Homo-oligomer: A and B are copies of this chain.
Amino acid sequence: MNEQKYNAIIADDHAIVRAGLKDALEKPGLIEPDGIKVVAEAGDGLTAIAEIRKHRPHLLLLDVSMPMAGGVEVLVEARRWSRETKVVVLTGVSAVGLVSDLIEAGVDGLFSKASDNTEFYQKLPGILRGQRHISEHFLSILEETPKLPMLTDRERQTLNMILAGRSNKEIAEGLGISIKTVDKHRTSLMQKLNVRSVPQLMARALKEGMIDPSKEL
């Protein structure tokens, strides 16, 4: 019979990812000597929550982007119904807000889908025994981004107009100030965000999810 010490639930909207994770978990010797039994899978957040209430597993492998309910919601619900379950989140996105939300919600493990799996394999046993591990990648992200609240009013205004595709001259006319002043704000912006061109600035702002379409002049 199976003498597996731990069981787990996998929640991800991609069947291929679930298959790969299940294979890794259940393979004896890779993570646990006897493997980890996968008792349920879920392709959306609501199913994930239902399965957690039903099985109350030792481990929940969770994707952040899922239909019906995202990573943070499922994490909170998992905590409500199964306090002993260790929740490990795998994410393909590294938006600052999401990462800090997950950590504040008390996630037990946080790994990037893009990075090498060996880190994931190595840390999982410790997490099952009560340790906590956040991938360096996310820690560095959190440290490198107290830059957003450092934006001044004018800089934020300018940034939003840049993201709307307006040129220096158009922004100057829109805000009723000189082109040189806009240039100054833009230069400060780029320094604070550590970029060297407008396209890079836009790409960066998009990646950080700092879009605010509801700003008026």
Chain A residues close to B by CB (< 8 Å): 13-17, 19-21, 23-24, 43, 65, 90, 92-95, 112-117, 120, 162-167, 195, 197-204, 206-207, 209, 211, 213-217
Contacts and interface: CB of A to CB of B under 8 A. Distances in A.
B165 A203 contact: yes
Contact of A114 (B43, B162, B201): B43
Nearest to A65: B214
Contact of A162 (B24, B162, B199, B215): B199
A16 B62 CA distance: 13
Contact of A199 (B113, B117, B166, B215): B166
A117 B65 CA distance: 19
Given A20-B19, A166-B199, A92 B14 contact: yes
Given A213-B209, A216-B114, A165 B195 contact: yes
B197 A15 contact: no
Give 7 closest A-B pairs by Cβ, nearest first: A20-B20, A165-B203, A165-B200, A14-B113, A206-B213, A93-B214, A165-B199
A116 B15 contact: yes
A14 B111 CA distance: 11
A195 B17 CA distance: 32
Contact of A17 (B14, B43, B115, B202): B14
B17 A113 contact: yes
Contacts of A203: 163-165, 202
Contacts of A120: 16
A82 to B, nearest CB: 24
